């Protein structure tokens, strides 16, 4: 069963204005794009399923090239078709690279993500972002107990 899209959107919107902090995941204090997903996961499902090891901010990092996609495919459920509110979206920052950025759809045309120097913001899913889409997934609904 998938988590409620309205609950996910509400949880993501609570993070708006949180400053960008690499590897962080603390509402209001700081997060990066993965930290945003981790924080929403905790609100929706309770404890995170695994401890996240340290990772580089550099999108050229070859040692962990497929880590984001592998984790997404392990803990989230793939979705066919256009991204909808509540879906997790993965982006390639360069055409030849695996996904290195993520966000949460809040409508059919906008998403929330954490961006360096801007923090957590709501952005339009422009054609430039659409060309970089590398995956659409959903949060599962887990038992919080």
Q: What is the pTM of this model?
A: 0.92
Neighbours of 83 (CB within 10 A): 23
Between strands 77-78 and 133-138, the pairing is antiparallel
- The two tokens of residue 113 are 């993500």
Given a contact cutoff of 8 angstroms between Cβ atoms, the answer to whether 3 and 139 are in contact is yes
- What backbone phi and psi angles, to 5 degrees, belong to 123? -130, 155
89 within some domain: yes
145 within some domain: no
Q: How many separate domains does the chain show? A: 1
144 within some domain: no
The CATH number of whichever domain residue 123 belongs to comes to 3.90.1720.10
pLDDT tens over the chain, length 145 residues: 788 999 999 999 999 999 999 999 999 999 999 999 999 999 999 999 888 887 777 655 666 667 788 888 889 999 999 999 999 999 998 877 889 899 999 999 999 999 999 999 999 999 999 999 999 999 987 766 5
Q: Which residues pair with 31 in a beta bridge?
A: 20, 25
In the chain, DSSP assigns E strands to: 25-26, 30-31, 77-78, 88-91, 101-105, 110-115, 119-124, 133-138
Residue 123: which domain range? 5-138
């Amino acid at each position: 069963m998938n988590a409620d899209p309205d609950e996910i959107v509400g949880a993501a919107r609570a993070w708006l204005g949180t400053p960008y902090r690499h590897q962080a995941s603390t509402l209001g204090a700081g997060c990066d794009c993965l930290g945003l997903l981790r924080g929403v996961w905790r609100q929706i499902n309770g404890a995170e399923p695994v401890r996240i090891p340290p990772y580089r901010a550099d999108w050229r990092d070859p040692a962990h090239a497929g880590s984001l996609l592998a984790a997404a495919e392990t803990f989230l459920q793939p979705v066919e078709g256009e991204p909808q509110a509540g879906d997790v979206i993965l982006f390639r920052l360069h055409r030849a690279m695996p996904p290195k950025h993520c966000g949460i759809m809040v409508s059919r045309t906008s998403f929330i993500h954490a961006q360096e120097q801007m923090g957590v913001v709501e952005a339009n899913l422009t054609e430039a972002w659409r060309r970089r889409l590398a995956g659409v997934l959903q949060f599962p609904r887990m038992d919080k107990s």
